[in-house]
Amino acid sequence: MQKRKSRLKPKPELTSNPEGAALTGNTVTLTCHMDQSTGWQFYWYQHTQKHQKNTTDKNSYTVNIDSVSDGGQYWCRAGRGNPVYYTNYSDALWVNVTDDPKAVVTVKPEENLFREETVTLRCDIQGGGDTEWTYSWTVENTNYRNKYIVSEYKKQEYKISSVEHTHSGKYTCRGKTRDGQNSEISDAVTLTVSDETKAVLSVSPQKWLTEGDSVTLICEVYGSSTGWTFSWYRDDNDRKYKLLSDRKLHSQFCCCKSHKCRGERGEQVYYTEDSNTQPLCFSGVTSSVFLIISPNRTQHFTSDSLSLSCEDQSNSTGWTVRRYTDSEEMEDCSSIHWGSQTGSTCRISPVYTDDTREYWCHSESGENSDPVNITIHNPTIVLIQSEREVLVHHDH
């Protein structure tokens, strides 16, 4: 009697979608391919063929990738009938799992912006390897408390030209692979758009210089510190400001010159408003003139008159009394705002608390006396103090 030849058991083929590495937080669909008739059930195994994971009526099984432990080797086989007839196991399929890549947003020039500046946000996927990504951006507007997806921006860089207050808000991005796997959403970057700003100029260590002194002018943009460069200007003649090439000014100054600066940044350059002005005066090694205050008392009362005289040891002429205005400009006594000049004497009549200033003598040749601080208190106590000494004029 001839023996019946045994038929080989079928062997399914196991595939995955997506192929390659799987990201935590996503899913992988396994498919067990059988070239046989219907009626099969499908058995799914992970790590070993003895570790059955699930049974399905369909030839597909979805694995939720919650952690790296969900990766590893997978098998499938099919079975039907009673008693159950099993196919062979499929070949092992590796499911490689990596932690979800993290999207990170960077901002240029910075998060604190001013109206009409240009800002560029960039989305980078940390741990994304060589995978090709598309990008999506989400904006939560802080002014209107609404949240929306910027669907038209699929690129890695999100550029906003000429920002306005309406662009203030929280910006996030995430990446997506071609097969539909998503990165983690980035941490939010908050853009704050303010009105136009003004640079602020300060002087260190002092405004008054003698020969050999060095001084540094410091230009700052309050509320912002990133990406700025600065231009410097000096009043050379009749308050016509000339651009200076030096970024830090170390100098021996002749006469009194006002200085100012402004900040600029960005590829499409944004300029701040001009800063306040700062005067710098060169008084020489030894001044031959002294500023004398009369009457010779140290207390003055509101509505009194004050006389400021320039007494020159070399008997030169052409002296006038100067002081700073509230805006740090230099102003002569002959100004209609505060005094009248006769010869080398300036008369302030009457005096007010607003006459608390720094006063000095200035010659036509550009020489300056040491400055004198006059502080008028309310009630009307005037303290007169020189930076070097107190000079008291005695009536003859």
Q: What residues does each domain of the chain span?
A: 13-98, 102-194, 199-282, 289-386
Q: Which fold has domain 289-386?
A: Immunoglobulin-like (2.60.40)
Residue with tokens 């949240």: 147
Helix, strand, coil % (nearest 5) of the chain? 0, 50, 50
CATH of 102-194 given 2.40.50.110, 3.40.50.1820, 1.10.10.60, 2.60.40.10 = 2.60.40.10
Residues in Cβ contact with 159 at an 8 Å cutoff, skipping those fewer than 6 apart: 118, 119, 120, 121
Confirm whether 102-194 and 289-386 share one CATH topology.
Answer: yes
Looking at the whole model, is its pTM more than 0.85? Answer: no
Residues in Cβ contact with 303 at an 8 Å cutoff, skipping those fewer than 6 apart: 350, 351
CA distance 146 to 136: 17
Region class of 366: left (phi > 0), else alpha (psi between -120 and 50), else beta: left
Distances from the Cα of 95 to the Cα of 129, 162, 287, angstroms? 17, 48, 88
Residues in Cβ contact with 343 at an 8 Å cutoff, skipping those fewer than 6 apart: none
Distances from the Cα of 36 to the Cα of 94, 178, 214, angstroms? 25, 33, 94
Q: Which fold has domain 199-282?
A: Immunoglobulin-like (2.60.40)
- The tens-digit pLDDT sequence of the chain (396 residues) is 455 545 688 999 999 988 867 777 788 999 999 877 788 999 999 988 888 889 999 999 999 888 888 888 999 999 999 899 999 999 999 988 877 788 999 999 999 999 999 999 999 988 766 678 889 898 888 666 666 666 555 789 999 999 998 889 999 998 888 777 788 889 999 999 988 788 888 887 666 666 666 777 888 888 787 889 888 888 765 556 777 754 444 433 345 677 888 999 988 889 998 888 887 776 554 556 788 888 766 566 677 788 888 887 666 567 888 887 777 677 888 776 778 888 888 898 888 878 878 888 887 777 777 777 777 766 544 444 434 344 433 333
Count CB neighbours of 58 within 10 A.
Answer: 10
Domain 13-98 has CATH 2.60.40.10: yes
